[in-house]
Amino acid sequence: MSILVLIRLTLRELSSKVTMYILAGISTLVLLGLALAVSVDSMADGEVLKLFGQQVSPPVPLEELAKAVQQMQAGLAGGLFTGIILFGVFATAGVIPDMLERGTVDLYISKPISRWELLLGKYCGAVAAIGLNIIYFLAGAWLVFGLRCGVWDINLLLSALTMTFMFAALYAMVVFFGTWTRSTAASIILTYLYLFILGGILHNRELTLYLISENAVYRGVIDGFYYLFPQISGMQENGAKQIMQVEMDWKPFLQSFFSGSVFFLAAAVILKRRDF
Amino acid sequence: MHALECEQLTKVYRSGIRNKREIRALQEVSIAVESGQIFSLLGPNGAGKTTFVKILLSLTHPTGGRALVLDRPVTESRVRRRVGYLPENHRFPAYLTGEQVMMSFGSLAGVHRSALSGRIDQLLTLVGMQEWRKVKVRKYSKGMMQRLGLAQALVNDPELVFLDEPTDGVDPVGRKEIRDVLRNLREQGKTIFLNSHLLSEVELVSDRVAILDKGKLLKVGTVEELTTTESSYTIGCQGPLPDALRTEADARVLGVTFSAEGVVAHVADPAALNAVIDLLRKHGVLITSVTPQRSTLEESFINLIKREIPS
């Protein structure tokens, strides 16, 4: 029950922030633009998918139109995920540091809840807030593609769950940084540092870090680091596969689940030991 | 029964990475508070008062010693269902209204939703915040925040309430109202643990007082015990005092001063007091009363702290 109260409080907290309205506003604008831009035209040699009146797919028979639409949906979902990473982290990174501020944390910890429950409630609340935004956008996109192209693909809706999971894995890392540093700015910077620099280097470690040494221990440590962090690129690739109904590789999701659990546990340990 | 009990409670903060600096916030403090009392903890800034309360609420971990709240170890989160807390400089989420604060923190305190609305009505009326219940707390003044904080601390009908500077920022009328609330809670059998700088306030409501300085417990006792000046007595006399008496008192260095009310004897022990009484009787003075002199809590507190400074 306490966790549900904390989720509700976090949703309220985030809904009071202008960043969440900006996120919802951008989603709405993109959906409106999409509704105006995307269309299907029937031509003599088949159906053509158009964007802003420009043909974006070769003429295909009606039964194959879904494939072209799925490709567009996958591209859109990829763009959405990048947006969610950038904006979602920015919008929610303050949840933990704000809770840990003097005068606020006292009110929470003096209640009959354990510290890990407190962390879990806040974590779930932030993930739920971003999840609702993802559902809003993808449900809107599903309607647009259904109404404008006649393609009602359930996989686009299901990808909302996958994408929320991806954010949840990443957010565990944000929670860790937030608990450790107690600073919103530091959490955002460290997360972006991983996403834009370290993540890329580790993902392409065979072309970068492996060149420094052939030592097996060194490479083992590098691999350990790689698997310690959520597999953002791997999950993103497989998210697109889900929409395109290609067989998915679940390994990046499992690894990210493990990574998220490690980061969350580490945050819980730090919080448990800390004096306020 | 003790509402709270601690033995040899010690807290050492360590800071710095290379040259670890130690700050001994609490040094083997042992206190027991009986149920149904208003107990106040006094001390100058940095004495360790807030650290002490934070340990009892599991906000801070002790370095040593043992602490029980309502007969349970402080680390047991369930015991906090029976405890209320108003922190110093608390910050309620600014996006909530007063009513939402009460609802949210009441639920977190384990109060069932069905019982909450009636309780919230009752408490907001008690602290005079009923008409502000639908207003966001970001618009509240400091005094209003304190009132809401007090209501929040009582939302789970706690057996033990910790109040850290509850009248901070509250106007004199509000302070009186808060004192009345505290007395009323005591009548209901609740235990109140008060941390306050306002000694005059503490004096008015407390049953027992502890004085803490530099992490050490200096004294515990009732307000009367703490304010009684052991070595000074006012001796009430009838009629004028003879000059010969003044001369002899000065000559024998009895530590006597003369005032309109009579004689004030500053004596080291009861034998010296009796010597002064004998002298008065020898000069035919009619004694009407012998009363130990009392100082205010503030005077006693300052004297006690000053005495500790050289150590």
**Residue A262: predicted pLDDT:** 96
Nearest CA in chain B to A101: B91
CB-based contact A102 B60, cutoff 8 Å: no
Name the residue type at position A264. F
Q: Give the Å distances, CA to CA, from B135 to A9, A100, A119, B131, B139.
A: 17, 25, 28, 9, 7
Nearest to B96 by CA among A15, A76, A209: A15
Local confidence band at B91 (pLDDT 50, 70, 90 cut-offs): very high
Average pLDDT, chain A: 91
**Residue B310: predicted pLDDT:** 54
What integer is the mean pLDDT of B181-204?
Answer: 88
Q: Would an 8 Å CB–CB cutoff place B46 in contact with chain A? A: no
DSSP-derived secondary structure for A21-80:
HHHHHHHHHHHHHHHHHEEEEEETTEEEEEETTEE-S--B-HHHHHHHHHHHHHHHHHHH
Run of H or E including B147: helix B142-153
Q: Which range scores top for mean pLDDT: A170-184, A236-250, B176-190, B244-258?
A: A170-184
Give the span between the Cα atoms of A162 and A142, in whole angstroms. 15
Residue to test with chain B: of A99, A110, A115, A116, most B Cβ within 10 A: A110
Q: Is the pLDDT of residue B300 over 90?
A: no
**Residue A55: predicted pLDDT:** 84
Q: Would an 8 Å CB–CB cutoff place B152 in contact with chain A? A: yes
Higher pLDDT, B291 or B75: B75
Strand partners, B263: B235, B258
pLDDT in tens, A218-227: 999 999 989 8
Cβ proximity of B236 and B261 under 8 Å: yes
Domain range for residue A71? 2-273
Q: Is the pLDDT of residue A136 over 70?
A: yes
Nearest to B109 among A6, A104, A111 (CB): A111
Higher pLDDT, A167 or A50: A167
Q: Is the pLDDT of residue B308 over 80?
A: no
Highest CATH level, class, for B228-293:
alpha beta
pLDDT in tens, B4-57: 999 999 999 988 777 678 889 999 999 999 999 999 999 888 889 999 999 999
Nearest to B74 by CA among B11, B120, B122: B11
DSSP-derived secondary structure for B287-305:
EEEEEEEE--HHHHHHHHH
Percent of chain A with pLDDT over 90: 57
Nearest to A91 by CA among A143, A140, A133: A133
pLDDT in tens, A114-126: 999 999 999 999 9
Average pLDDT, chain B: 88
Percent of chain B with pLDDT over 90: 49
Cβ proximity of A9 and B93 under 8 Å: yes
Q: Is the pLDDT of residue A52 over 90?
A: no
pLDDT in tens, A56-93: 888 888 778 888 888 888 888 888 888 888 889 999 99
Give the span between the Cα atoms of A245 and A143, in whole angstroms. 19
Give the span between the Cα atoms of B261 and B254, in whole angstroms. 18
Residue numbers in A near B58 (CB within 8 A): 109
**Residue B291: predicted pLDDT:** 82
Where exactly are the structural domains of chain B?
2-214, 228-293
Q: Is the pLDDT of residue B225 over 90?
A: no
Q: Is the pLDDT of residue B311 over 60?
A: no
- Residue that is written with structure tokens 């959520």 in the block: A230
Percent of chain B with pLDDT over 70: 96
Name the residue type at position B46. G
**Residue A71: predicted pLDDT:** 86
**Residue B140: predicted pLDDT:** 93
Among A62-66, A74-78, A256-260, B186-190, where is mean pLDDT lowest?
A62-66
Q: CB within 8 A of B42, min separation 6: which ones? A: B49, B196, B199, B202, B209, B210, B211, B212, B297, B301
How many C-beta neighbours within 10 Å does residue B128 have? 16
- Fill in the DSSP letter of residue B221: E
How many C-beta neighbours within 10 Å does residue A88 have? 25
- Total CB pairs under 8 A between chain A and B: 80
**Residue B230: predicted pLDDT:** 63
Report chain A residues touching chain B, CB-CB < 8 A. 1-2, 5-6, 8-9, 12-13, 16, 101-114, 273, 275-276
Q: Output phi, psi for B192, to 5 deg.
A: -120, 130
What 3-state class would DSSP assign to A153? coil
* CATH fold for the domain made of B2-214: Rossmann fold (3.40.50)
pLDDT in tens, B122-141: 999 988 899 999 999 999 99
**Residue B309: predicted pLDDT:** 60
Number of folded domains that form chain A = 1
**Residue A153: predicted pLDDT:** 86
Q: Is the pLDDT of residue A109 over 90?
A: yes
